């Protein structure tokens, strides 16, 4: 049923306020693209965000790979996110005990809880990781959402069927969880969002275990929000790649809900 409903309908079912907003935004902007700006220079990320902003739903970064990070970068990114109406995701993949995850989310030099609309977290520690991440938000009034990294895209990933099932169960008890990072249609709740990485038109793998599929294949496998990184960042003509992925993904979504 999830795969047949449009995002606006699903936004009414979502229990997380931020999941609901993201679903609405995807329909309003006509895009399911989550750009993985895996670049190590703050200015390069800002330039790419300015270019891609009107065409993406989410900008995903790995803040700890930026060589010239400071909090002014975050301020500028926030300005771009409100100017072009996209959400920010820090793909931190938290994976420790609740207390440590809480400190990593709130403290240190990145202060992720202050600015990231969405984060990713591994379910491997069990329910306490969600308690820890929630605790770090005790002074934050903005909406926040967590994607559980339930099934990985890499070759030989240890996210086996039992693990996947347990993660889906874990997500049912928390309204902070907005969806799953996964490769296939593993949950039925239409209020949750499937975030799928491993998408590239010109390659089926990289040299370090990443595995790629096409936009059409992942959308038919349940992907709602779709991560594209090097397919865009390494393209000689970035804007045309952004538009190409955006359009192919949107056509596949429209086709999925109508067929």
Rule CB under 6 A: which residues touch ligand 6AU? 36, 38, 91, 120, 149, 152-153, 181, 197-198, 210, 227-231
Q: Report the C-alpha gap between 91 and 110 in whole angstroms.
A: 13
Q: Which is nearer to ligand 6AU, 188 or 202 (CB)?
A: 202
How many CB atoms lie under 10 A from the CB of residue 194?
Answer: 26
Which of 93, 111, 134, 238 does the annotation list as catalytic? 93
Least distance to ligand 6AU, CB of residue 139, Å: 26
- Beta strands at 33-36 and 58-61: parallel, antiparallel or unpaired: parallel
Q: Report the C-alpha gap between 74 and 137 in whole angstroms.
A: 18
Give the CA-trace dihedral at 134, 139, 144, 147, to 10 degrees.
Answer: -30
Least distance to ligand 6AU, CB of residue 156, Å: 12
Least distance to ligand 6AU, CB of residue 219, Å: 16
Q: Are 230 and 198 in contact (CB under 8 A)?
A: no
Least distance to ligand 6AU, CB of residue 151, Å: 7
Q: Are 136 and 11 in contact (CB under 8 A)?
A: no
Give the CA-trace dihedral at 39, 42, 47, 51, to 10 degrees.
Answer: 60
Q: What's CA 78's distance to the chain center, in Å?
A: 17
Residue 107 a catalytic site member: no
* Catalytic residue annotation: 93
């Amino acid at each position: 049923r999830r795969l047949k409903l449009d995002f606006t309908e699903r936004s009414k079912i979502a229990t997380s306020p931020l999941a609901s907003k993201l679903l609405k935004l995807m329909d309003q902007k006509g895009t399911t693209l989550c750009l993985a700006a895996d670049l190590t220079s703050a200015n390069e990320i800002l330039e790419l965000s300015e270019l891609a902003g009107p065409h993406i739903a989410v900008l995903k970064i790995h803040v700890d790979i930026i060589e010239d990070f400071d909090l002014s970068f975050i301020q500028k990114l926030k300005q771009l996110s409100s100017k072009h109406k996209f959400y920010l995701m820090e793909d931190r993949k938290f994976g420790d005990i609740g207390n440590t995850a809480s400190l990593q989310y709130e403290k240190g030099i990145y202060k992720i809880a202050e600015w990231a609309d969405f984060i990713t977290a591994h379910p491997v520690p069990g329910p306490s990781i969600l308690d820890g991440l929630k605790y770090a938000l005790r002074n934050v009034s903005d909406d926040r959402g967590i994607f559980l990294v339930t099934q990985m895209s890499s070759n030989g990933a240890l996210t086996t069927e039992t693990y996947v099932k347990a993660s889906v169960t874990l997500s049912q008890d928390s309204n902070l969880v907005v969806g799953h990072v996964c490769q296939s249609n593993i949950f039925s709740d239409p209020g949750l969002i499937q975030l799928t990485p491993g998408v590239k038109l010109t390659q089926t793998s990289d040299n370090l275990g990443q595995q790629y599929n096409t936009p059409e294949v992942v959308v038919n496998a349940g992907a709602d929000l779709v991560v594209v990184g090097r397919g865009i960042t390494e393209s000689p003509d970035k804007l045309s790649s952004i538009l190409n992925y955006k359009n192919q993904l949107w056509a596949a979504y429209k086709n999925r809900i109508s067929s």
